[in-house]
Homo-oligomer: A and B are copies of this chain.
Amino acid sequence: MTGNVIVGQSGGPTSVINSSLAGVFKTAKDRGADKVYGMLHGIKGLLDGDYVDLSEKIQSYIDIDLLKRTPSSYLGSCRYKLPDVEGNEDTYVKIFNKLKELDIKYFFYIGGNDSMDTIKKLSDYGKSINSDIKFMGVPKTIDNDLAVTDHTPGYGSAAKYIASTMKEIIRDGLVYDYPTITIVEIMGRNAGWLTAAAALAKGEDCEGVDMIYLPEKVFDIDEFMNHVKAVSAKGRSMVIAISEGIKVADGRYVFELSDHVEFVDAFGHKQLAGSAKFLANKIGSELGIKTRAVELSTMQRCAGHMTSRTDITEAFNVGGAAVKAAFEGESGRVVVLKRISDDPYMCITETHDVHDIANIEKKVPLEWITEDDYVTEDLIRYIRPLIQAELSPIMVDGLPRHLNVNM
């Protein structure tokens, strides 16, 4: 083993992204890596000379176990997308100079499809200058929208949090003896994988949610109102799951139907929130039914106290598999999960060319969405193995303990 390792995290946090970091760190050390550096705030940190020697931060087995249980990106994150090489060679020269300075031979990036774009560009550029640095992508995203891989690390834990919380919200929402409607808004701008996880709540101890609306299918607001009206006329309360990204036929998001001026954030992005509130208000004022809008918000991606052991183990394994592949000479590839069997559930890792994965979004197949506003058994069967088993938080003084790079 000659040369050092560097690893970064990018994009939106998940509750298991640090388990992948632990997998990269531990496997690299076990296989004889000298230094393992962590970029702070992803590739932007590298450009700014902002990195840490991870051996100084992760000093014991308990640290590794705390890291696995720490939600969000331990090393910080960024939303920085590398520019195309053409016309921006200086950025690439700067990065490769930094890597040379630190004697880096192996570069790992943990992230979603935007982050895989970074691996693609760096490995392509590296190849063009005959660099011997190996670049590997480690997949993560709660959205589960990455191509090629059976599913993404991060999704199973978010799905488990959503299904568990939905069971609790259903208990809470059905408590009165008059009809009430609870609308729960779930993340996933373009892909409905997370929202579909609400279907797992239904079981021998739970009524389940009444309706599920994914962004893959056009949302028909009149049909929705009729459905709600019909059920509540029977005196029944309902709990409804919607994706934050549902759109009506003309392409507008549901929250855009509101007639008050919507908030645009400092970056000019329309804030994607409020479809549940919009629908709840509409039901309240038009049908006179008591309603509540609930947003699972950031909790669904950072609930480190409620992770799937299946997910957190796979997250660790994809990190380790990336190191193994790179140390064996692979580059410009992403570790993917391949499901070998559904029952018993078995999944192995493979690697795949990053060009087939970067910038591509995988959506829920339309045949997994039913006519009566729900999802099929096939979709439920696909998700259920991913939420199995737990990794208990390490509780200190009544609260889950984390590892903090700054403390």
Contacts and interface: CB of A to CB of B under 8 A. Distances in A.
A406 B236 CA distance: 13
Given A13-B171, A76-B176, A164 B289 contact: no
Contact of A397 (B277, B281, B284, B384): B384
Nearest to A274: B277
Interface string A242-261: 00000000000000000011
A261 B260 contact: yes
Contacts of A406: 207
Interface in A272-311: 273, 277, 281, 284-285, 287-299, 301-306, 308
Interface in A186-201: 200-201
Contacts of A263: 281, 284-285
Contacts of A177: 40-41, 44-45, 50, 76, 78
Contacts of A301: 172
Contact of A160 (B308, B390, B399): B399
Interface of A: 13, 15, 40-41, 44-45, 50, 70-73, 76-79, 160, 163-165, 167-169, 171-173, 175-177, 182, 200-201, 203-207, 260-261, 263-267, 273, 277, 281, 284-285, 287-299, 301-306, 308, 384, 387-390, 392, 395, 397-404, 406-407
Closest 10 A/B residue pairs (Cβ): A260-B260, A72-B171, A387-B398, A41-B177, A172-B302, A266-B288, A168-B302, A72-B172, A294-B297, A388-B398
